[in-house]
Amino acid sequence: MGKQVDLLQGTLDMLILKAVSLGPLHGYGVLLRILQISGEQLEIQQGSLYPALYRLEHQGWINSEWGESENHRKAKFYRLTAAGRRQLQSETDKWNRLAAVMVGIMSTKPEEI
């Protein structure tokens, strides 16, 4: 049980970092951006979004600033920090390696053994 949550959490963190790396976003915007860039494939649990944002800010990977939203409300905007950019890069590399390995494994045919 615990392991799965960890994996999900890690993925969520990566998605958020990727989303804000494309430009400053408020929390709701992060939700929409992930939905958009995933081609409406991934919908994030709204409740887990905010603790994740706070955790990432706590780690120093993103920082936040109050500003005005497109609908003229006071909103908190998150942007990637230099440390966050490095973190995103290393997570991306890790993910790509894992994905490549997984693809290799999953496409193995009986005669290749």
* Dihedral sign of CA atoms 84, 89, 95, 99 in order: positive
CB closer to other proteins out of 38 and 46:
46
One-letter amino acid at 17 equals L
Among 69, 89, 96, 108, binds other proteins (CB under 8 A): 69
User: What string marks each residue from 14 to 53 as x (binds other proteins by CB under 8 A) or -?
Assistant: ------------xxx----------------xxxx-xxx-
CB closer to other proteins out of 45 and 96:
45
How far, in Å, CA of 30 to CA of 50, rounded? 10
- 2 belongs to the binding site for other proteins (CB under 8 A): no
Could you give the C-alpha distances from 50 to 37, 39, 72, in angstroms and in order?
A: 19, 22, 21
One-letter amino acid at 77 equals F
Least distance CB 35 / other proteins (angstroms) = 11
Q: Which residues contact 19 (CB under 8 A, 6 or more apart)?
A: 25, 30, 33, 34, 37
- Pick the stretch among 10-18, 57-65, 90-98, 99-107 that binds other proteins (CB under 8 A): 57-65
Residue numbers at the binding site for other proteins (CB under 8 A): 26-28, 45-48, 50-52, 54-55, 57-60, 69, 71, 73-76, 83
